[in-house]
């Protein structure tokens, strides 16, 4: 029986031991190790033993900031956001984990033994990168973010946070977002005004945009492939806030015309995914012709599978086969399939959506990834295709 590597187009000669996923096949050790930071969350032999260190390493290999609050708190992102250095911290973790080839097991042990900072500095010194790495130079000025026991400069942190809140309040003409009256005020607003308020608060206060929240989807962060693109899109919205008032932004959004304000800023900010971003912005999500693909990106980015079980009636579930799933294992098979298509094979999301609308997902995925017999049976059923038995 012919099987194919989950990470490349070569024939597979190895398989993840004890794993039930149909595509846990590899051409060799290099591809298996490259896939491990992601696959360990799907592997039935390992998925119950994972923690924040594993999630941080996975996020680094995905080139996206972690999407769960425990990891954000444990590895300094919450503190970094309070001083506007969220992306700088992520750049450091990428530099440290990738350049020095740090596995989650070591990261976990150093953190538990309270020697992580010492190991970081020793590692950069031994590799000769201490004087050349910009992320490490940032770390040297902000060790307390990685290890708060070193002493948080609370006055400086609070001043920067209060300054960001004050700028936001002056710009909106509204009370502090933490003011007890703000919720009562927001209850009188239309949905479009609430969403724009949340978007602008995230921009002013340097709060991360995480999937699969409404503002992540409806304001185009769902089209970003990595943290660099997220940062660029934040710059677009930051510039938008400089040029327009809050009322101008939310009223334009309510009229489904936010793209008309955003489009002139894209080139100057270095944004290249014009078609995809404007596709998201042109119509609110409940009317959007292709919003299901962006929702798909959100649900495959998070660990929870129960959402897809309980929401099997949604267009997302019907269009991408989750409505046919009879177990969590089936959902994991589909999520892994779409990750491979969108991330490993670099298929454009809008193209994948067009193929799904035509009902050709099975044939397309098979042509791109190459299916073994077991994958043909599983995805032929989940994606609504009848697969004839054949001899490999």
Q: Give the per-residue pLDDT at 2.
A: 67
pLDDT > 70? residue 62: yes
Q: What is the mean pLDDT of residues 68-74?
A: 95
380 Rama sector, left if φ>0, alpha if ψ -120 to 50, beta otherwise: alpha
User: Three-class SS of residue 64?
Assistant: coil
Q: Report domain extents, the chain.
A: 51-150, 174-281, 292-382
Residue with tokens 């308020």: 197
Query: Does pLDDT of 370 surpass 80?
Result: yes
In this prediction, what percent of the chain has a pLDDT beyond 70? 92
- What was the pLDDT predicted at 384? 79
**What pLDDT sits at residue 78?**
96
What b/e string do you get for 300-338 counting C-beta neighbours within 10 Å, with b at 16 or more?
bbeeebebbbeeeebebbebbbbbebeeeebbbbbbbbb
Q: Which of 267-273's residues contact partners 24+ apart within 8 Å by CB, and which partners? A: 268/239, 269/232, 269/235, 269/236, 269/239, 270/232, 270/235, 271/229, 271/232, 271/233, 271/236, 273/223, 273/224, 273/229
Q: Report the distance separating Cα 187 and Cα 34, nearest Å.
A: 48
Q: How confident is the model at residue 54 (pLDDT cuts 50, 70, 90)?
A: very high
Query: CA 200, 206, 208: angle at the middle one, nearest 5?
Result: 90
Is the predicted pLDDT of residue 391 greater than 50, yes or no? no
Hey, is 19 helix, strand or coil? coil
* Of 60, 58, 143, the residue nearest 99 (C-alpha): 60
Cβ–Cβ < 8 Å for 353, 331: no
Residue 392: per-residue pLDDT: 38
What is the chain's length? Answer: 392
- Give the CA distances from residue 342 to residues 24, 215, 244, 338, in Å, rounded to whole numbers and listed in that order: 17, 21, 35, 6
pLDDT confidence of residue 302: 87
**Could you tell me the pTM of the whole model?**
0.90
Separation of alpha carbons 301 and 297, rounded Å: 6
Residue 181 has pLDDT above 70, yes or no: yes
DSSP 246-279: HHHHHHHHHTT-HHHHHHHHHTTTT---HHHHHH
pLDDT value, residue 309: 60
Question: For residues 172 and 197, what is the distance between their CA atoms, to the nearest angstrom?
Answer: 8
Mean pLDDT of the chain: 89
Nearest to 259 by CA among 235, 284, 238, 234: 284
Mean pLDDT of 329-353: 92
| Angle ∠(262,265,268) on CA atoms, nearest 5 | 160
pLDDT in tens, 17-43: 878 888 889 999 999 999 999 999 888
CB 32 within 8 A of CB 16: yes
- Verify cis geometry, omega within 30 degrees of 0, for the bond prior to 218: no
Burial class from Cβ neighbours inside 10 Å (0-12, 13-18, 19+) for residue 97 reads buried
Summarize pLDDT for 315-336 with one digit per residue, the tens: 888 899 998 988 888 999 999 9
Given a cut of 80, whether residue 48 has pLDDT beyond it is no
Residue 288 confidence class, pLDDT cut points 50, 70, 90: very low
pLDDT of residue 389: 43
Q: What is the pLDDT of residue 286?
A: 43
Backbone φ, ψ for residue 290 (5° rounding): -130, 20
Does 125 score more than 60 pLDDT? yes
């Amino acid at each position: 029986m012919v099987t194919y590597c989950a990470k490349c187009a070569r024939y597979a000669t190895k398989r993840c031991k004890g794993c039930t996923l149909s595509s846990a096949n590899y051409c060799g050790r290099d591809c298996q190790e490259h896939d491990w930071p992601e696959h360990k969350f799907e592997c039935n032999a390992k998925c119950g033993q994972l923690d924040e260190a594993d999630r941080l390493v996975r996020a680094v290999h995905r080139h996206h900031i972690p999407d769960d609050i425990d990891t954000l708190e444990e590895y300094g992102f919450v503190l970094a956001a309070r001083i506007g250095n969220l992306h700088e911290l992520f750049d450091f973790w990428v530099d440290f984990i990738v350049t020095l080839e740090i596995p989650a097991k070591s990261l976990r042990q150093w953190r538990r033994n309270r020697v992580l900072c010492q190991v970081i500095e020793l590692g950069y010194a031994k590799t000769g990168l201490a004087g050349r790495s910009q992320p490490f130079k940032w770390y040297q000025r902000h060790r307390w973010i990685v290890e708060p026991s070193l002493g948080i400069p609370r006055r400086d942190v609070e001043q920067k946070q209060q300054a960001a809140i004050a700028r936001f309040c002056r710009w909106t003409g509204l009370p502090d977002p933490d003011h007890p009256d703000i919720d009562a005020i927001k209850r009188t607003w239309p949905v479009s005004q609430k969403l724009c308020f949340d978007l602008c608060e995230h921009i002013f206060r340097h709060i991360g945009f995480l999937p699969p929240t409404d503002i992540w989807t409806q304001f185009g962060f769902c089209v970003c492939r990595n943290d660099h693109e997220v940062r660029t899109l934040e710059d677009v919205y930051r510039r938008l806030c400089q040029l327009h008032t809050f009322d101008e932004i939310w009223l334009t959004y309510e009229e489904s015309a936010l793209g008309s304000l955003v489009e002139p800023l894209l080139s100057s900010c270095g944004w290249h995914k014009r078609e995809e971003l404007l596709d998201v912005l042109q119509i609110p999500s409940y009317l959007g012709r292709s919003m299901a693909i962006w929702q798909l990106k959100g649900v495959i980015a998070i660990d929870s599978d129960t959402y897809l079980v309980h929401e099997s009636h949604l267009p997302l579930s019907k269009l991408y086969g989750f409505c046919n799933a009879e177990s969590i294992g089936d959902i994991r098979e589909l999520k892994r399939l779409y990750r491979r298509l969108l991330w490993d094979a670099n298929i454009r999301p809008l193209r994948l959506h067009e193929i799904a609308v035509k009902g050709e997902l099975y044939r397309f995925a098979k042509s791109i990834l190459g299916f073994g017999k077991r994958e043909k049976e599983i995805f032929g059923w989940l994606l609504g295709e009848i697969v004839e038995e054949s001899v490999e």
